[in-house]
Structure 1
Amino acid sequence: MAHLWDAEVAVTTCQAKRLIESQFPDLIPADIQIMDYGFDNTVMNVNNDWVFRFPRREIAVRLLETEGKLLPLLAESGGGLQIPVPTYYGMPSSQYKWPFLGYRFVNGTIPSRAASVVREGESAIALARFLKKLHGTSVEAAEKHGVPYDELSRLDVEKRHPILEKNKDELKGLNLFHQVDKLETYLHNLPSKALPEETTLVHGDLHFKNIVVDKEGILSGILDWGDVHLGHRAIDLNLIYSFLTPEGRTQFLKEYGEVGEEELDYARFKAVYTNVVLLLYGYHEGQPHTVMEARNSLELALT
């Protein structure tokens, strides 16, 4: 059965080694290990210093190219959290038809593999300051660097409700989520009021696989900017529901600034929708750490 995350092209470590060594001789000999793979990219650890991302689907190519232009500018403007800044720009060739990028390693551990995770206090403040800076970026400047608008209707409840219902039924059939009654209750109370008109620069795909924490468990970095676009900030604010505790959310909003109730309702919807998908993804891909963290994130989102 085909899944949303199935690859069109899955680069192997042998292929990646040939590509990297042929284009970047300073990385020879390239010691390569697969770190992870998402819906759009295969992620490789190279010589323990670099992370290379290779598109798995054609839809990811344009996004990766935009990311390559935008991230250096965001790094220069600062924001308090680490982001991966591209250093190596791989070119298409007869060996691999798409471009690929190499970044300096962002120190930290994804929450699903961290010894401890701080979900309020310093993490909440760091996230608030980072997103306030990101969401304050000039839309005109982002447009000039090729950042697209939201072409996937990420907050379209009417469009995504049937998918969420279908995924909920699969979770229930697989007995993957023990609070499915709470999820079903939520599905009867989805946001319906119109969102206020607003366009900001957003990361676009904030969830536990795209953030890292430091040794103390405090949020320290934001990864995978392949979905960066111009859209509504509620898309990013979903993380306050799937990562922070209720106390952490209060601390976040005090630092970030005023957010309307409708925006928060849509942010929660995005958190629920995303983590239902990630829970199924972890199950079907045989990733128990992903299953555990997605389950925890979904429980938080429903709290």
Structure 2
Amino acid sequence: MGDAPEADLHVDAELVARLVLSQHPDLDGEVRRVDSGWDNVMFRLGDDLAVRMPRRSIAVRLLRNEQRWLPELAARLPIPVPVPLRIGRPAPELGYESPWSIVPWLPGVSALAYASSAGSTADDSDATAEGLAAFVAAMAVPAPAEAPPNPYRGVPLTVRDRDVRPRLASGRLRDAAVLERVWERSLAASEWAGPPVWVHGDLHPGNLLVHADGRLAAVIDFGDLTSGDPATDLATAWLTFGPRGRGAFIARLAARVDVDDATWERARGWAVVLGAMLVDTLDAASPLGRLGADVLARVVAEELGED
């Protein structure tokens, strides 16, 4: 198992260069492949731009959601996000049948890579907690009825129970009995009673860019953007931080918005959902597979009073 499913859309630097020259010739420049994620592949275009290309057909709808909603969201977010500057059209004549986006090149390194290279975690920088708390607070405002639906994010935890139970029983998760205790308590917490709010949906450290000093530089990959329970995004307290950073994040968020105990219980449950998914579906040696194991270990340590 790797970090991403097999691609069904062929994308390379030569294709991207032809697409840019054909549709946006005023932005023509050197194209260099940067990275490939679960659904998309990113190319740098010159010094200041990047091209975001779906590598799977299933991601086309997600990219359209970004193109539709990111310009509106970015206007009130305190952290840079990859707002599409130009929209690319499908070009069957060039061998590519998906829309695509030209976005700003956002400097920084992923918080996941930062932790690996520095031999540390975001716990070492209160600045990460400060920026992420500001982003989460600004994000969690009532969303319009037209916000994109997502059957896996922002939903009541009971919807995810059918996924979590088999994973807890699979034998692939360490301390499954402790995790089950956390999960049951999360399920028992009262459901979100407020209006559906905007939810990033995938707020893990691989989607956070940080500066060399740990300050949050940007939040990327809004493919899972939806509305619903803000607890989904609050799970970043366990996805991104160990004990010290988590405490700093919670304190800084509390200075901006009120989060009740039930919402934090659900957020902890979302950490179990996402951590278990990563461990169960990815190679344990891959960066996201290791992240999943780390997230579950943080939840267990907190539950046992060991962090």
Indicate whether the TM-score tops 0.5: yes
For residues 196 and 277 of structure 1, what CA distance do their matches in structure 2 show?
23
Structure 1 residues 26-82: Cα deviation after superposition (integer angstroms, max 9, x where no partner): 4444322141212x32233333533222223444323322322322233332x3222
Change (3 A) 1:3 1:242: closer
Could you tell me whether the CA contact under 8 Å between 2:3 and 2:282 is conserved in 1?
no
Q: Which residue of 1 aligns with 2:164?
A: 164
Greater displacement, 220-229 / 19-28: 19-28
2:139 alignment partner, one of 134, 152, 174: 134
1:134 to partner: Cα distance: 1.9
Aligned-residue Cα RMSD (Å) equals 3.0
Is the Cα–Cα contact under 8 Å of residues 23 and 90 in structure 1 kept in the other structure? Answer: yes
What residue is the counterpart of 1:274 in the other structure? 274
Residue 203 of structure 1: which of 186, 200, 213 is its match? 200
TM-score normalized with structure 1 length: 0.81
- 1:97 deviates by 1.3
Aligned-pair distance for 1:297?
2.9
Structure 1 stretches of 4+ moved >6 Å: 1-4
Alignment-derived partner of residue 19 in structure 2: 19
1:159–1:231: structure 2 CA closer, same or farther, 3 Å change rule?
A: closer
Deviations 1:105-160 (A, max 9, x none): 11211122112543363322222222222223x534xx5xx522444464443342
Q: Is the 8 A contact 2:157 2:187 kept in 1?
A: yes
1:290 equivalenced with 2:288 (yes/no): yes
Question: What residue number does 1:84 align with?
Answer: 82
Q: Tell whether 2:120 aligns with 1:121.
A: no
Please tell me whether residue 215 in structure 1 is matched to residue 208 in structure 2: no
Give distance in 1, aligned partners of 2:10 and 2:70: 25
Q: Which amino acid in the other structure matches residue 139 of structure 1?
A: A
Deviation of 1:193 after TM superposition, in Å, equals 3.6
Quick one: which amino acid aligns to residue 60 of structure 1?
A: A
2:305 corresponding residue in structure 1: none
Which amino acid in structure 2 is aligned with residue 16 of structure 1? V
Query: Are residues 291 and 99 of structure 1, via their aligned partners in 2, closer, same or farther at CA, if it must alter by over 3 Å?
Result: same
Q: 1:90: how far off?
A: 0.6
User: C-alpha separation between the residues in 1 aligned to 2:233 and 2:69?
Assistant: 17
Distance 2:215 2:275 in 1: 21
Using structure 2 for the length normalisation, give the TM-score. 0.80
Instruction: Tell me the distance in 1 between the aligned counterparts of 2:58 and 2:154.
Output: 16
CA distance in 2, matches of 1:214, 1:112: 12
Shift of 1:180: 4.8
Moved more, 48-57 or 96-105: 48-57
Structure 2 Cα separation of the partners of residues 109 and 190 of structure 1: 33
Of 87-96 and 59-68, more deviation after overlay is shown by 59-68
Give deviations 1:164-202, integer Å, cap 9, x for gaps: 2434455x44xxx65555435434544224413221122
**Which has the larger displacement, 65-74 or 210-219?**
65-74
Note if contact 1:36-1:42 (Cα within 8 Å) is conserved in structure 2.
Answer: yes
Query: Secondary structure of the residue that 2:79 maps to in structure 1?
Result: coil
Q: Is the 8 A contact 2:9 2:96 kept in 1?
A: no
Deviation at 1:98, TM superposition (A): 1.4
Q: Please state how far the C-alpha of 1:256 moved relative to its aligned partner.
A: 2.9
Structure 2, unaligned stretches of length 5 or more? Answer: 303-307
2:36 is matched with 36
Q: Distance in 1 between matches of 2:158 and 2:98?
A: 34
Give the total of aligned pairs.
Answer: 290
Tell me which amino acid in the other structure corresponds to 2:227: L
> For 1:82, what is the secondary structure of its paired residue?
coil
